[in-house]
Structure 1
């Protein structure tokens, strides 16, 4: 909830502190491949996650205070503005004040093992999504088999596994939920796998999370379902659809990918229905929409943003896919996040190509507006464009997964997973529950990461944090273990620093001048540098 205390040793639970004044080991040894570095979550209270929340005047507020630690636990808030209340479990709900401004709330959490406190700031104005969204998407998981039952099962697993205690709070349906147009709004209604969208959203909200949905301004989606425009006023797509006998699913009217291209439904139709769909999503209770088409363009994005703003609900806008770089600023004025790439895949070539090419995008992000290099390829995944009921381990090695999450966190990227949670292993849980790594991603200052140093297979990326410290990722993109040696002055770190290993959540001594780090092939280490007074 607050950035600096996340790094204070007294709050680290299982974290290890080096003796004050000890020298940083040179070279710093590489981790044993495949080992979980994140300590188990401490049973003592720790308030985690984002410390700011954006809402428009008078709009609905839903925020689950992310607190890890053993239950029972007493969670309290003082200074909540009128119109908001908090449940004993730490769920803040109600209406934002009509008056614009910042409202500071003091939070306290206590159990038999200790207590923690922090500040939460409600910013009432025009901006939403003041830190990168963290959550789950159905696309690399259930994909074409997504339905209300497995979405709610995922939400319940978020709570059971304690992910909500670390700031994970979006449950997002991707493509394949759509049925036919109808209802009082003439909007897209869900297919038979979603019998009650409103009840589903309410259930997700009651668990302290937010709900996301998917659409496109095109007449058809990539997976072959109907989109946010139509060829006629009736919303009848028959002239473009394939015969029912040729469909994998009843409502997959354009056929599986790339059917949308073959049927010429990959374009915005003459009749715009997106505003009607937005009203329907607001009535159901959705908080987030991923809008997918290519190329993204500013006029269409403005039209989409206008429809969402008129829906009567605060809805985060996520653009997909492969936003044209030359239109980044125009898109960033309207969207809360935008895809900087095509679809990511779970192999080193895809993750490294995307991740290490993001520096030029960094200048376009700011609180409420985020570059999106796509979904984290960690854990057990399904196959996109398939009706998945089973999942297989990502093709990324453990070291490549550390690189993946380290780099995405430095980039202030959305942290969206799509893995199977029912059979999640300890290693993957370690990637998802390290509050110090998450704090780098969620840092409210959102200062750009930069590639501070590059030599051969080695790179160092740095990011200034709001408390004055610097987070850094040391990366080895090569095929063999090696030692990265760098003069810290070249990283903009000319003084003496206390160094903390963020994955291990452990202090590692002091360093000045040269620093050497041994790294596994495709591996990473992540440090925080605190200047000595």
Structure 2
């Protein structure tokens, strides 16, 4: 049964002291002049965080991290559901929603005791502000269904929520809201009303979900207008990814940060994939408008969606890689673990002033080279003219090497539209073999049934050859027997309720190797999660990859990576300083500097001319 609690208490818009709301809307990019840094409750607590947990993380940040630039404390999703107690979403019809009389979500009084009597998040925001920090919240795009069903009025109008909604483009993974239709009378007024409420609470940061994938241009513009009319500096974060790169100009014009990928977790496959996405988005980094590689899944997780009472699965080398890549990419840094459980190593990652200087103030950040599994990034120090250089030993993802892949889907999950991706790729000339690869997408749970639907090799003369009619040369899966025209469990091939007669049913992790017919030109397929995976409560994330070369990892040893200074236009002698170790390494020229980088590790260096 579905429950609804409506607070029939007029919401008092609290006047802010000392004119703190008097800002110019046109200056919103100055509100995040450097990439935002803070803590977000999602990784650690999922949708179930409570007030004392938020306060304890704020206390820790104020004491240990504030002096290093960490400032945002963000309450993530579903703070308005009174009976949300676990890391997984309650079903819509088993959720107790808290709204005010104007159809605006209010914090759960059982989870946030200070929010009762119509106070909302004002008291909690005041507490965070008293620590010298900033307060943020998460919201879903759209208008609450409960406001629509109950025809709750839109503040300041004679309209109701039922006048502004559409069932089209409803979020596929959380059914709390309907779409707000731009252009309908009351649509802008509704968004104005919720952001006026947030401004009255003292909110400094809003993460808006289900906004960037697919890209909701009109609602983004409603939200931008709503923030601007409040007169308060509220940083806008758009989520989730992948934001279409063709929308970079629109995103830059309307938001302070936007996601480049889907939810990022602590597994190497996703971190390895992030190199590609960061390189793709690097040309669009600009001050006050930051492509966002997502949160830092570091430290300890308590009861998150994919993490219960455990520490990050990233090795120390992988944590250096994560922090170095996010630093060179200038991604916002939002820590995901429970800060009071941090150990000395984790805090050292977050409090390295030399590294944070790169993150905040470097310019011209870009990928420099990618050769096999070795990657380099560069950036400039605008104050000194020094160069920053980062090098990475990506060395595959532990299951397959990602070098020379023809196709990589990134993580697919129940959050993915259609639960899959269409594939249409050109095959390199004279290719002899084809490898179909399915990897775990990041949850670390072995229930990831996956299907290759209608896998077809197209020859130069137009002939189509179904892979289901070819015998593979070699195949293995994480468990079970790979199925031809059936799932790995032996049932029908079924993706999101649609059954298919032609395809291959498999499981992560798996590799299927075929010998390609002569004159093979293209490969097409639809790759998606089998219904067995999406019906499971224990996990369903995969990544599809395609290669024509053996993807087996070849090297997991430390590797010397030459840094050719001449290629950077640097001639003469240069002092090189290791920023993670706070140590000068000596003077070098040309390609003399060859740091040895651990498997899945990284190095970050300042290069200064010796005069």
TM-score, length of structure 1 as denominator length: 0.68
Q: 2:240 aligns with which of 317, 321, 341?
A: 321
Distance 1:263 1:487, change over 3 A: closer
In 1, distance between residues paired with 2:218 and 2:161?
Answer: 24
Q: Alpha-carbon deviations, 1:380-401, whole Å to 9, x = none?
A: 2245337x8x631111110000
In 2, distance between residues paired with 1:216 and 1:425?
Answer: 33
2:21–2:231: 8 Å Cα contact kept in structure 1?
Answer: no
Local SS of the residue matching 2:172: helix
Q: 1:209 maps to what in 2? A: 133
Tell me if 1:513 matches 2:430.
no
Q: 1:503 maps to what in 2? A: 580
Q: 1:287 maps to what in 2? A: 204
2:192–2:226: 8 Å Cα contact kept in structure 1?
Answer: yes
1:146–1:176: 8 Å Cα contact kept in structure 2?
Answer: no
Local SS of the residue matching 2:200: helix
Q: Alpha-carbon deviations, 1:153-183, whole Å to 9, x = none?
A: 11011123x2111110000011020144644
Distance 1:357 1:98, change over 3 A: closer
1:219–1:266: 8 Å Cα contact kept in structure 2?
Answer: yes
Which of the two has higher C-alpha Rg?
A: 2
In 1, distance between residues paired with 2:174 and 2:44?
Answer: 27
Distance 1:125 1:151, change over 3 A: closer
1:475–1:523: 8 Å Cα contact kept in structure 2?
Answer: yes
Q: 1:143 aligns with which of 46, 49, 66?
A: 46
Tell me if 1:164 matches 2:70.
no
Tell me if 1:448 matches 2:372.
no
Q: How does 1:259-338 map to 2 (within 5 A)?
A: 261=172, 267-269=178-180, 272=187, 273-293=190-210, 294-322=213-241, 323-338=243-258
Shift of 1:139: 0.2
In 2, distance between residues paired with 1:126 and 1:353?
Answer: 29
Q: 1:69 maps to what in 2? A: none
Distance 1:476 1:150, change over 3 A: same
Q: 1:358 maps to what in 2? A: 278
Q: 2:76 maps to what in 1? A: 174
Distance 1:339 1:300, change over 3 A: same
In 2, distance between residues paired with 1:99 and 1:295?
Answer: 30
Shift of 1:361: 1.0
Tell me if 1:187 matches 2:99.
no
Tell me if 1:428 matches 2:330.
no
Distance 1:329 1:424, change over 3 A: same
In 2, distance between residues paired with 1:361 and 1:439?
Answer: 21
Q: 2:37 aligns with which of 134, 147, 150?
A: 134
Q: Greater CA deviation, 336-345 or 140-149?
A: 140-149
Tell me if 1:367 matches 2:287.
yes
Distance 1:520 1:262, change over 3 A: closer
2:141–2:177: 8 Å Cα contact kept in structure 1?
Answer: no
Q: 1:401 maps to what in 2? A: 319
1:96–1:124: 8 Å Cα contact kept in structure 2?
Answer: no
Distance 1:473 1:194, change over 3 A: same
In 2, distance between residues paired with 1:519 and 1:210?
Answer: 37
Q: 1:120 maps to what in 2? A: none
Instruction: Give RMSD over aligned pairs.
Output: 3.0
Tell me if 1:385 matches 2:305.
yes
Report which structure shows greater RCO (CA 8 Å, sep ≥6).
1
Q: 2:382 maps to what in 1? A: 466
2:136–2:204: 8 Å Cα contact kept in structure 1?
Answer: yes
Distance 1:205 1:184, change over 3 A: farther
Shift of 1:487: 2.1
Local SS of the residue matching 2:388: strand
TM-score, length of structure 2 as denominator length: 0.59
2:257–2:289: 8 Å Cα contact kept in structure 1?
Answer: yes
Distance 1:284 1:265, change over 3 A: closer
1:186–1:276: 8 Å Cα contact kept in structure 2?
Answer: no
